Amino acid sequence: MKRQAVFYTETWRLKEPFHISRGVRTEATVTVAEITADGHVGRGESVPYAHYGESAESVLEEMQGAARAVEAGCSREDLLALMPPGAARNAIDCALWELEAKHAGNSVYAIAGVKPAKAPVTALTIGIGGIEEMVAKARILQDCGLLKVKLNGDDVVEKVRAIKSVAPTPRMIVDPNESWDLPLLSSVHEKLAELGVDMLEQPLPAGQDGVLDGFTSAVPLCADESCHTRGDLAALRTRYDVVNIKLDKTGGLTEALALKRDAEAMGFRIMVGCMIGTSLAMAPALVLADGAEFIDLDGPVWMAKDRDGGLLIRDGNINHAAVSLWG
């Protein structure tokens, strides 16, 4: 089948600033791939991430560099060799998945051979702020199933304790986004465990987490920035309990499914995460959600306006059966 590929960028305004240890964002710039063949259109969305050396311009240029091969009919497996992991490959890979499903008259779940997760619950995120501000947000979210609390190195235990006091029921992920060092982790992990924190996500910088070899944390540790593809897993076995699979890191659903399979075989627990994007970026990640212990796909919750036909999220509960825009 003859293909036509179109790649472009979009900017989506956030309904409020998103504050993590690396800075504050007020909008999300995404890259979109549309691949058309035989009257069917497959789409994919990715989020260029400056922390990984990406910009909207560089990702779009990388996508354009693959356009000829994509239009010539390269497969998703061919794409793994043609492009490196990252946002550019993610958008194209997800578009190819949807195109393949539409051409087959089936769903992506069916052709991937996986089951939709039953009643998936996403984390809802509280960005970094003062204690009173974070507590006020926690009070609003007290009935959700899973909270994700962004922290830097300031007032770690005090903020978690205050949030737990008004939202004691939800499970909790604490995410420092690489902003801690080993002495800080050593001083707080037992206290966080006593407060009921369920998981601690990437406390130390990627590339500097070798010091976790031999360290036993009272709270399970999750590799996020340290885990991109299957090739990273071997080095993580003695450092982390959980791996966070994000399509923008793996470079698409094809590698993400393989990463999940290998990680589970090695004994890792699974988290499915996201960058801040629209439901077009979240829907492919939901294909990974069955069996995942932690799901963090609340990107659409941060949008001032999401795409039509997007995820319906109420108190963290995802109604993926209503998603019509992808897959």
The residues carrying an active-site annotation are 150, 246
DSSP E strands in the chain: the ranges are: 3-20, 23-37, 40-46, 124-126, 146-150, 171-175, 199-201, 221-223, 242-245, 269-272, 294-295, 312-314, 317-319
The amino acid that residue 155 corresponds to is: D
Please name the residue ranges forming H helices in 105-155: 108-112, 131-140
* Contact yes or no for 251/84 (Cβ under 8 A): yes
* Contact yes or no for 69/233 (Cβ under 8 A): no
* Contact yes or no for 242/268 (Cβ under 8 A): yes
> Residue 231 — left, alpha, or beta (φ > 0 → left; ψ -120 to 50 → alpha)?
alpha
* Contact yes or no for 307/325 (Cβ under 8 A): yes
Q: At what angle do helices 279-286 and 253-265 cross, to 10 degrees?
A: 40
Q: Is 22 exposed, middle or buried (0-12, 13-18, 19+ CB in 10 A)?
A: middle
The number of residues making up the chain comes to 327
